[in-house]
Structure 1
Amino acid sequence: MATLTHDTVVTSHRLRTGLLTAALSASAFGLSGPLARGLMDAGWSPASVVIVRVLLGATVLLPVALVQLHGDWNLLRRNAGLLLGYGLLAVASAQLAYFNAVAHMAVGVALLIEYTAPIAVIVWLWLRHSQKPGRATVLGAIIGIAGLILVLNLRDAAHTSWIGIAWAMGAMVGAAAYFILSAHAGDAVPGTVLATGGLLVGGIGILAAGLIGIVPLHATTNAVAFQGFTVDWWVPLLALGVVTAAIAYVTGITATRLLGSRLASFAALGEVLAAILFSWALLGQTPAPIQLLGGALILIGVVVVRLGEPADDLSAP
């Protein structure tokens, strides 16, 4: 029996493995926002945090990627477009927009906006590949959008950051690109090679933008304060590079190739819960009750969309 996600067929074994891998990836990604917010409160710019995070992650993965590459440099040339797109859209744009959003609003709220990305994935698959969603999928999307409106809490003008909302919507586009591009193996590009190449391209791209003045670059060696404790500046940077970049991206790519971009984008919503828990523990941030209700509606919408997917299909997509 196989579950069809419209962009790949998922057997029961692949489903279990993919969901477990997606949960690990979501937990790792969920830690990035609170750690980045601590660094930014200590005087780091969002671009500087992203650069260190992704380049450190690439450094950690590089030895494994070189082994998987087996000296086949033509593989990189044949898939240069995939690597560039992944690095600039799925890594650089998504992370820079998300960290800028976190600088202007609560981590959980920014992430809930970003993770309306599954709706964008559905629209993309519909427009690009003529994979028309069913009624349940449309209903789930409507519920998710209603939840998003509550999460934005527009009636509370004093706490509504339109700059933060704009950055979070940009992060949503980048997240959708992440799920769509991660599902493609290109010309049999290993997951670690794709992650390493994307992190290098993204980090170098933002660094170049900073050096020519497009984005501000500044950093400090000040201690980083979290809820109830303080650590040296390098501690959150190390965690950002190893856990929230190297581990998170490799497991995320693996999960997406096992599950397909649509199902993986829904499974990755576990990052929202992880981020809210980490934000509460590290920053003392908790969403307002109306935002919690909106978050619940977003998750309900995701479940409805998932239930609307075909239960099984033995044919190739």
Structure 2
Amino acid sequence: MSPTPAASARRPVPPLALAALLAAAVAMGVSPVFVREAGVGPFTSAFYRVFLALPALAAWAAWERRAPRSDGTPVVDPGWTRSILLAGVFFTVDLFFWHLAVLHTTIANATLLATMAPVWVMLFSLVIGERVTAAMTLGLAICVVGGALLVGSSWHLAPERLLGDLYGVATSVGFGLYFLAVRVARRTASTGIVLLRSTVVTAALLGIVAAVAENRWIPGTLGGVLALLAMANVSHVGGQGLLGWALGHLSAAFSSLVIFLEALAAAFFGWILFGETLGPWQFAGGAAILLGIWIARPREETPR
């Protein structure tokens, strides 16, 4: 008996999609290490992160245009769609307000508020026609608790940091909307095309910001140059590229939980490379994040 359309749409989640999501978290989580070593201003480093990624993304998109899809059909280029343009704008918002938050509040506050992006993704998933399951909601709640524990006692409210905390909230909104835009863009375009064109938009906008706000464009050391190249090719091409590919197979709501894994990876790299302290509460927070993601995991692939 032939399967019903509903049954045929319910495909098992590709293990590669989950692996890509995990690898994306690690690649994005190491970016603060590169920022520290870059030797240029925060907005300039954000600009270089996307600008220096363009050659690799252009090669990726060109390869995709020549390579047939897994079903043998050629890749269709939908052009500069609204969702691709919005992805570039929203990623600019994310990076812009993230650096402002770091400058105007504590790293702990900025990190915790930025990890609230999945809340916005789940709230607005209905707008792009995707449902949020009870398991995803429960998993998100556990991840939020884990994120709070990971930040630990460094988190605190203070009136003089209110503006910086609001920047942190704006960061989470920007990244949340970026997830939704990329998820929609991936319904009609391949990963390389989406990433290349959205990155062109982000690079143009951040180039303007860096030119206005900062005036130091050249790193003072070879290590700074290498850090910028690594940030572009590891954190952006690798991290955002793997995330974009995974968003072609997984819902935006579940994929957004990668932000908590990114915070976990950043804490790990800070511990290994800079000797930053991780105590029992941080380890408990990390365990809660992993538990929340396990609970929220999809049982089937979300159709594009």
TM-score band by shorter chain is 0.7 to 0.9
Determine if contact 2:147/2:285 at 8 Å carries over to the other structure.
Answer: yes
Structure 1 residues 108, 197: closer, same or farther in 2, change over 3 A?
A: farther
8 Å contact kept, 1:109–1:152: no
Partner in structure 2 of residue 45 of structure 1: 41
Equivalent residue letter for 1:194: V
Give the AA of the match of 1:95: L
1:250 partner SS? helix
**Secondary structure of 2:53's partner?**
helix
Alpha-carbon distance between aligned partners in 2 of 1:284 and 1:163, rounded to the nearest angstrom: 30
How well do the aligned residues superpose, as a CA RMSD in angstroms? 3.6
> Pick from 222, 225, 249: which aligns with 1:234?
225
- Counterparts of 2:155 and 2:265, CA distance in 1: 27
Report the CA distance between 1:245 and its aligned residue: 1.0
Equivalent residue of 2:256, what SS? helix
Aligned to 1:3: none
Q: Any idea what the Cα deviations from partners look like across 1:78-125, whole Å, max 9, x if unmatched?
A: x1x122101110x21112223343455676764443222222111112
* Aligned partner (choices 216, 219, 225) of residue 214 of structure 2: 216
Output aligned runs, 1:1-317, within 5 Å. Answer: 11-12=12-13, 14=14, 16-39=15-38, 42=39, 44-69=40-65, 75-77=78-80, 79=81, 81-89=82-90, 91-103=91-103, 110-126=110-126, 129=129, 131=131, 134=134, 137-145=136-144, 151=151, 153=153, 156=156, 161-185=161-185, 188-211=188-211, 213=212, 215-223=213-221, 232-286=223-277, 300-304=291-295, 306=296
Does the CA contact (< 8 Å) of 1:58 and 1:200 recur in 2?
Answer: yes
Shift of 1:282: 3.3
Identical positions, percent: 21
* Matched residues, number: 286
**Paired position in structure 1 for 2:71:** none
> Whole-Å Cα distance in 2 between the matches of residues 142 and 52 of structure 1?
35
Letter in 1 for 2:195: A
Contact 2:76 2:189 in 1 (8 A): no
Q: Deviations over 1:178-202 (max 9, x none)?
A: 2212222467311101101111110
Question: Are 2:24 and 2:240, in contact at CA under 8 Å, matched by a contact in 1?
Answer: yes
Query: TM (normalized to structure 1)?
Result: 0.74
State the partner residue of 1:227.
none
- Of stretches 143-152 and 183-192 in structure 1, the one that deviates more from structure 2 is 143-152
Q: Report if the CA contact (8 A) 1:82-1:186 is conserved.
A: no
Provide the TM-score with structure 2 as the length reference: 0.77
Deviations 1:119-172 (A, max 9, x none): 2111112466484653x55555555555566647587568x9545433322221
Report the secondary structure of 1:218's partner residue.
Answer: coil
The question of whether the paired residues in 2 share the 8 Å contact of 1:46 and 1:96 is answered with: no
Structure-1 residue corresponding to 2:4: none
Larger deviation, residues 145-154 vs 108-117? 145-154
* Residues 120, 201 of structure 1: alpha-carbon distance in 2 compared, 3 angstrom cutoff: same
Gaps of 5+ in 1: 1-7, 224-230
Instruction: Sort the Cα spacing of 1:10 and 1:85 in 2 relative to 1 into closer, same or farther, 3 A.
Output: farther
Instruction: Give the whole-Å Cα distance in 1 for the aligned partners of 2:269 and 2:186.
Output: 35
Report the 3-state secondary structure (helix = DSSP H, G, I; strand = E; otherwise coil) of the residue aligned with 1:188: coil
Could you tell me how far 1:26 is from its partner in structure 2?
1.0
Show CA shifts across 1:252-279 (max 9, x none): 1011111121221224532122111112
Residues 13-63 of structure 1 show CA distances to partners (whole Å, capped at 9, x for unaligned) of x1x111111111111111112211333xx4x22110011110111122112
Asked whether the 8 Å contact 1:36–1:49 carries over to 2, the reply is: yes
Unaligned runs of 5+ in 2: 1-8, 67-74
